[in-house]
Structure 1
Amino acid sequence: MNGSTEGRAEGNGRDADNPAILREGNWLRTSPRGITLVTTRQVAGHWWPGATLHHVGVLPREDAAQVLCDLAPERGTAEEAAEIADQLGRLPLALTLAGGFLAHQVISPWSMAEYGRALGRGNELDPIELLDQGAGYSGGDASRHLASTTWELSLNALHDQGLPEAATLVRLLSCWSHDPLPLHLLAGSDIDAVVPRARVETALRGLLDHSLTRLVPGPPRCLRTHGVLLDSIARSAPADQHDLLVSTAAELLSAIVPDMSRPWAREDPPLTPYVPHTLALLRRATQWTGVGPAAMTRVLACTLRLAVALHRSGDYASALSVAQDAVTRGTQVLEANHPAVIAIRQRAGRSLYRLGRYEEAEAAHRLALADCTAVFGPSAVETLESCAGLSPVLAWALDRKDEAVALVRRAVEGRTAVLGPTHPSTLIARTYLLEFTAGPETHPDAGAALVSDCHGEVGPGHPITLDAELNHGFALVTAGRQPRALPLVRNVVTGSEHTYGVDHPKTLAARSLLSRVLGELGRFQEAAAQAELVADARTRVLGPGHPWTLWSLDRLAERQRALDGRRSTGGDVQGETP
């Protein structure tokens, strides 16, 4: 059988780190008898002509747990071992080191549970240093047996091969997460700050050939780099490069995340892949020394864009998670009243409201409003943003509509003075004002001018226009103009489905109003059908305990009772007309 090699394992001989020694028939030769097995970090096929390559990845979860149980059988259960294995990415070297640490402690042995907690202590404990404590003592070169140094063998080899940029590129990768990283992130022009764009492809190929990262099929095509490797690379990155690496990583992420001035659309690429990388960048920016306020501000600006995009997509939980982590991390470098931090806090308040956490939302918005007033002044656009953000919490969650109206009038007047009456921000505030002041005395044409301005400024089908049309329909309903409201609200439902999708919270809000209009027009069967769609979707999307879900279930019960009442009296529910 021909000579066979397998890659991705730890090299067990120095010669295997330099495949050139094995070529030209010096060591590997075709033979009808026996198998030659070579372990190597070099996985490029051109090094191994005629060989069969077997790529060895991380261990399956059960096998990874068994490694720990075999090495330290008295330190914990199989499930505890599996949890540690997950934390270590099921990497054989890391598992061996962890097992060695647990097995050989003498003075005060840890349990597996204690070891797992130590690994997760973030800034308090260096996980790579903890792993290295599990290495056995030997008289030979220990570098390939330590999590902190084994990767240096490959980076040194790449440097000797004329690829010093590979080390810089993997340091940049260490700013992000071990989750799949979309490859087009590395195509941004800002990467020139750390690696010349003309050398990125070659440097990346070197990392791939040396098993320092791997490709993950798409779409989108991604890189996946092991977390233990990233942490090891990060701890050895020169301190004078930390600020530049963080700034560059933030700029590359910002180029991918949608700009806040552009409305979200359901055709946009998924944002979920960028969440772990943004959170990892926040973590790295606070772990590394030398990351200054300017770099942290760039990271927060990128995080804000992601939080806004997630919120607009309807993923309020992810938006809140990103925003809250950004506030926690950002205030380790910047003051709590820094403009970048305040902007993130405002976004967190909006997500808290959408998640039904009303008291927390009010507290977040009030604190942001106070800080904005102190830092920017009472008439600044940042302060007016807090006025607008707090107003729906007061109007609909806390039943303080008069205060909400006063705040949103302040936002309308202030934005009109600074930005103009048809600026998108002003249009949003005007839409809030129409919603909060709608009632029996509302003039039927009160929202017509707003809708016309939206059509002229941002165009039909735009999210701002859809909101204005919906609130115009709501004002018509509260003024007793249901027949006039019905076609308008139907069009908003159709437009929202096209823009957001059928389960988006804004689509469900429009459908809820449609159910109300139909019910008040006596079209009970249609009203009940629309109410059921809303209740089912909110239960699925927001959860059964969310206030909006509970409210929708109550409205469904009302519509169903009205329908049952019509049926019990022999009324025609099939041919209902307005």
Structure 2
Amino acid sequence: MNGKMDGRADGNGRGYQASGDQHIIEHYHHGEAGSVAWAGVESVRQPTGGAAPMVLRDRTELMERLRAAVAPGASNQVYVLHGMGGCGKTAVARTLFQFATTEGNRVGLWVNAADRTSLRSGMLAVAADRGAAESELSAARNGLRAPADLVWKRLGKSEYPWLLVLDNADDPEILQDGGWLRASPRGTVLVTTRRAGVHWWPHAELHHVGVLPREAAAQVLCDLVPEAGTMEEAAEIADHLGRLPLALTLAGGFLSHQVIDPWTMTKYGRHLDGQGRVDLIDQGATALAREDARHLIARTWQLSLDALADQGVQESTALLRLLACYGADPLPLTLLNSPQINRAVPRARAEVALRGLLDQSLTAVVDAGVRCVQTHALLLASVMADMPREQVAQLTSTAALLLDAVVPAIPERGRQDLRMSLLAPHVLALLHHATDASVVAAALDVAVRLACALHRTGDYLSAWELASAAAAITEPKLGPEHRTVLSAHARTGRALFRLGRFAESETVLRHVLAVRERLFGPDHPDTLDSYFGINHPLQQLGHVTEGITLLRRATDGRERVLGKTHPLTLQARAHLLEFLPIAELAAEVDDAAMPLPQECALHLGPDHAVTLGARLSYALALLRLGRFEAAVEDARQVAEDYDRHHGPDYALTLSAQLLYARAQAALGHMDSAVELMTVVAHRRELSLGAEHPYTTRSYELLEELRAKAACQSADYR
């Protein structure tokens, strides 16, 4: 062997073909990928979205049909409950869920399907509940394996029959795009949605859930406040509220919490008569004949807030308006425990304000893995629409500051923080609501950092969805050449690369690079970041020379602008070791005053992500140079350290073990190399799937090693 190697693209890394038929695969995750250990919602065994009704009124025929759907032997069917917001679809689903898990001997699984992130997180938690391995879940979460396929494979193998509820599926495209909605012979699926179009729900059995009949609606109020009036008085109030279950629940919550001077239903009705109309419609559902849902909700929540103000808890109004700046998904309560909340609600009064909202049934505390507050989407929309314009600007600014306080300024690699995943839909909701340019820019900066944080835990799908959606929302508001909009696009391109969509990644990153060069010049940190980032898809697409040229620009520019020992400079220098021609590589390694890994450890510490990445790149460089004994020891040590820090299924742990196996083979230790490659190939199959190109390539390398081991054994004989 003469050590000569030429580069070629292979999967998500770069392969090196040696004259001695050596193949080394190095995956580009340095400084980017995070721990791939599974983290998700704490449980899918409990419904979310508020408390179950005391008694489910009316709905008799519907419940009979649904109970039959979870009877012994019933399966392989999808049922869809559709109707306007606030009509009680979730209440019906909750009631069936309780019946199925207590009397139907079924496993109950509940997933919030309101947005892509919540749906995917919940469905992967379903897969975990049904026995999916951590490596399978990690690969699905970071986009290296089709998540829906994994979920339905596990549901199909469930030992026990199940009921799966997909709640709040008001955007059916999400279910269709991901292949999430399927039938299974092992269970029954129940969907709640506002969208009634038959084309959204092929092969499903649809059931409309409308407003309640007059008598049943009156009985709901009497269930909640039996001493407040007669059935006829309750019926009159129900008529005023359009017999909408959510409006009735809010009204009952108000009446049941009047202690010093309890209201009668008659008094409550007189106040309803005096309410003005809010000109809104409940989008995506059939409207009421005379009144729309948001108008009816507005009538009830304002009375509740007035009552709280009379009791000295006027801060509840400000808190509800602040919550309206976010989305209807579970919102971590830690977000409200920040000094920044003083701009909207005195921090010392935030607890009292929240308790007031809870007492009036205006919001609920739920467990989504961490303690959260969750408010009905229709109520939030009504509050936001009724908010004075000047307050929208002030409160969205405060909402952005609260998010800014909890999202890391410089996200680190590590295990998934569930709070970060839960914040994604709220950042997007805030970007939709914000109109002031400074607030939009501040919220977008949070969105980019949050996408980066998700990216660095290996949740590439969520990072891509958040970054691309944030860019789409804010580009019309801030302009296509706004610096933070460009950062959102850049983050989108980086996530696309991790998802294996190299051509799309190159297109996005090339556009960002061109604009940054024109606006900021070649030495701006953002432009240098573009030089560095675009190298990865360029290498995979075969544009090797261009990629190296741009990586050199990034390295030289970072050294000039940031200094030779800055982490980003050291990171770029490490990456060069993977791509330099052999002659230049030898000079880079031999002429250095100190080996690059030692330099990184000196300035950053031995366990820093850049240091570990530099050690892996340096071991690869030694192998490329034919210095096998040094390479095998360095590869062994870095593989052990990656395993210690991130676990055996971490992408770079496997890359380091693969490199170690190749170095062992180069020294003739074929049995050890085969044993190690067997583990690598098996773990990649578990985490990526049997058809993934990385898995295929690993097994190809394993067969090559086995063949060489057989030849070696024959020679000895």
TM-score (norm 2): 0.60
User: Is residue 521 of structure 2 the alignment partner of residue 374 of structure 1?
Assistant: no
Contact conserved, 2:552 with 2:576, CA < 8 A, in 1?
yes
Deviations 1:521-560 (A, max 9, x none): 3344443444444444445545556xxx313422322323
Distance between the aligned counterparts of 1:152 and 1:94, measured in 2?
28
Moved more, 251-260 or 505-514: 505-514
Higher helix fraction: Structure 1 or Structure 2? 1
Over 3 Å counting, the alpha-carbon distance change for 1:127 and 1:386 in structure 2 is farther
Question: Which residue is equivalent to 2:428?
Answer: 279
Q: Alpha-carbon deviations, 1:216-273, whole Å to 9, x = none?
A: 247522222222222222222222122222222222122222222x522238566322
Structure-2 residue corresponding to 1:336: 480
Task: Give the superposition deviation at 1:89.
Answer: 7.8
The one of 474, 480, 501 equivalent to 1:357 is: 501
Q: Which residue of 2 aligns with 1:249?
A: 399
Size of the aligned set, in residue pairs, is 477
Contact 1:135 1:146 in 2 (8 A): no
Distance in 1, matches of 2:61 and 2:604, equals: 57
Does residue 1:128 correspond to 2:274, yes or no? no
The residue identity in structure 2 corresponding to 1:133 is A
User: What residue identity is the alignment partner of 2:648?
Assistant: V
- C-alpha separation in 1, matches of 2:590 and 2:343: 56
How far off its partner does 1:181 sit? 1.7
Q: Supply the distance in 2 between the matched residues of 1:83 and 1:521 (Cα, whole angstroms).
A: 66
Q: Verify: 1:403 aligned to 2:546, yes or no.
A: yes
Equivalent residues of 2:605, 2:611 under 8 A apart: yes
Task: Indicate how the Cα distance of structure 1 residues 223 and 438 shifts in structure 2: closer, same or farther if over 3 A, else same.
Answer: farther
Deviation at 1:300, TM superposition (A): 0.9
- Of the three residues 672, 696, 703, the one matched with 1:560 is 703
Alignment counterpart, residue 360 of structure 2, candidates 207, 210, 219: 210
- The Cα offsets for residues 147-186 of structure 1, whole Å up to 9 and x where unpaired, read as 3433222222212222221111112112223222221110
Greater shift after overlay, 355-364 or 479-488? 479-488
**How many Å apart are 1:468 and its aligned residue?**
0.6
Q: Aligned partner of 2:571: which letter? A: I
Measure the CA separation in 2 of the matches of 1:88 and 1:504: 46
SS in 1 for 2:373: strand
- Counterpart of 1:388? 532
8 Å Cα contact 1:58-1:92 kept in structure 2: no
Paired with 1:410 and 1:64, the residues of 2 have a C-alpha distance of 71
The answer for unaligned runs of 5 or more in structure 1 is 1-53, 71-77, 96-109, 118-124, 286-290, 574-578
What secondary structure does 2:89 align onto?
A: coil
Whole-Å Cα distance in 1 between the matches of residues 532 and 282 of structure 2?
Answer: 47
Specify whether residues 55 and 553 from structure 1 end up closer, same or farther in structure 2 by C-alpha distance, changes over 3 A only: closer
State which of 600, 604, 611 in structure 2 corresponds to 1:458: 604
Asked if the contact 2:332/2:419 (under 8 Å) is kept, the reply is: no
Change (3 A) 1:65 1:201: farther
Retained in 1: the 8 A contact 2:52–2:91? no
Is the 2:562–2:569 Cα contact (8 Å) retained in structure 1?
Answer: yes
Pick which of 479-488 and 214-223 moved more: 214-223
Q: Which residue of 1 aligns with 2:643?
A: 497
Q: CA deviation at 1:387?
A: 0.5
Instruction: Determine the C-alpha separation between the residues in 2 that align with 1:281 and 1:64.
Output: 40
Does residue 407 of structure 2 align to residue 323 of structure 1?
A: no
In the alignment, is residue 417 of structure 1 matched against residue 584 of structure 2? no
SS in 2 for 1:223: strand
CA–CA distance in 2 between the matches of 1:242 and 1:498?
49
Which of residues 177, 183, 192 is equivalent to 2:327? 177
> What amino acid maps onto 1:82 in structure 2?
L
Q: Using the TM superposition, give the Cα deviation of residue 420 of structure 1 relative to its aligned residue in structure 2, in angstroms.
A: 0.6
User: In structure 1, what is the Cα distance between the partners aligned to 2:639 and 2:55?
Assistant: 49
Structure 1 distance, partners of 2:479, 2:60, is 43
- 2:53·2:91 contact (CA, 8 Å) conserved in 1? no
Separation in structure 2 between the aligned mates of residue 58 and residue 250 of structure 1, nearest angstrom: 37
Kept in 2, the 8 Å contact 1:207–1:213? The answer is yes
Contact 2:365–2:373 under 8 Å retained in 1: yes
Q: 2:297 aligns with which of 147, 151, 162?
A: 147
Change (3 A) 1:565 1:132: closer
Q: Is the 8 Å Cα contact of residues 213 and 225 (structure 1) preserved in structure 2?
A: yes
User: In structure 2, what residue type is equivalent to 1:112?
Assistant: A
The 2-side partners of 1:430 and 1:440 are apart by 16
Counterparts of 1:436 and 1:144, CA distance in 2: 60
Structure 1 442/58 Cα, relative in aligned 2: closer, same or farther at 3 Å?
Answer: farther
Deviations 1:40-74 (A, max 9, x none): xxxxxxxxxxxxxx9644999xx79948x99xxxx
Instruction: Return closer, same or farther for 1:208/1:438 CA change in 2, 3 Å cut-off.
Output: farther
Aligned counterparts of 1:320 and 1:511: Cα–Cα separation in 2: 29
Change in 2 beyond 3 A, CA 1:86/1:469:
farther
1:303 aligns with 2:447: yes
Contact 2:316/2:356 (CA < 8 Å) preserved in 1?
yes
Cα 1:568–1:426 change in 2 (3 A) is closer
1:235 to 372, 375, 385: 385
> Judging changes above 3 Å, is the alpha-carbon distance between structure 1 residues 327 and 217 closer, same or farther for their aligned structure 2 residues?
closer
Q: Distance in 2 between matches of 1:227 and 1:251?
A: 22
- Asked if structure 2 preserves the Cα contact closer than 8 Å seen for 1:89 and 1:228, the reply is no
Letter in 1 for 2:409: D
Structure with the bigger percentage of strand: 2
**1:112 corresponds to 2:202:** no
239 and 343 in structure 1: CA distance in 2 versus 1, 3 angstrom threshold: same
> Is 1:431 the equivalent of 2:568?
no
1:474 matched residue in structure 2: 620
Q: Distance in 2 between matches of 1:89 and 1:414?
A: 60
CA distance in 2, matches of 1:508, 1:134: 59
Contact 2:532 2:554 in 1 (8 A): yes
1:191–1:248 Cα contact (<8 Å) kept: yes
SS of residue matched to 1:331? helix
1:490 maps to amino acid: R
Match of 2:70 in 1: none
Cα distance, 1:292–1:541 mapped onto 2, change above 3 Å: farther
- CA distance in structure 1 between the partners assigned to 2:688 and 2:476 by the alignment: 32
CA distance in 2, matches of 1:175, 1:116: 30
What secondary structure sits across from 1:333 in the alignment? helix
Cα distance in 1 for partners of 2:418, 2:345 equals 27
Report what 1:82 is aligned to.
81
C-alpha distance in structure 1 between counterparts of 2:89 and 2:607, whole Å: 49
- Asked if 2 retains the 8 angstrom alpha-carbon contact of 1:528 and 1:556, the reply is no
Pick closer, same or farther for the CA change 1:558–1:502 going to 2, 3 Å.
closer
Q: What SS is found at the alignment partner of 1:442?
A: helix
Q: Deviations over 1:10-37 (max 9, x none)?
A: xxxxxxxxxxxxxxxxxxxxxxxxxxxx
Give the deviation of 1:394 after TM superposition.
1.4
Asked if structure 2 preserves the Cα contact closer than 8 Å seen for 1:169 and 1:195, the reply is yes
What one-letter code is carried by the residue in structure 2 that aligns with 1:146? L
Counterparts in 2 of 1:163 and 1:179: CA distance versus 1, 3 Å: same
Alpha-carbon distance, 1:438 to partner: 5.7
Partner of 1:32: none
Tell me which residue corresponds to 1:35: none
Structure 1: which amino acid aligns with 2:639? V
CA contact (8 A) 1:441 1:479 kept: no
Q: Which residue of 1 aligns with 2:412?
A: 263
Identity of aligned residues (%): 36
Matches within 5 A, 1:8-27: none
Counterparts in 2 of 1:544 and 1:257: CA distance versus 1, 3 Å: farther
CA RMSD of aligned residues (A): 3.7
TM-score (norm 1): 0.73
Aligned to 1:486: 632
Relative contact order higher in (CA < 8 Å, ≥ 6 apart)? 2
State the AA in 2 paired with 1:408. Answer: L
Take 1:537 and 1:232, find their aligned partners in 2: how far apart are those partners? 50
Which residue of structure 1 aligns with residue 164 of structure 2?
Answer: none
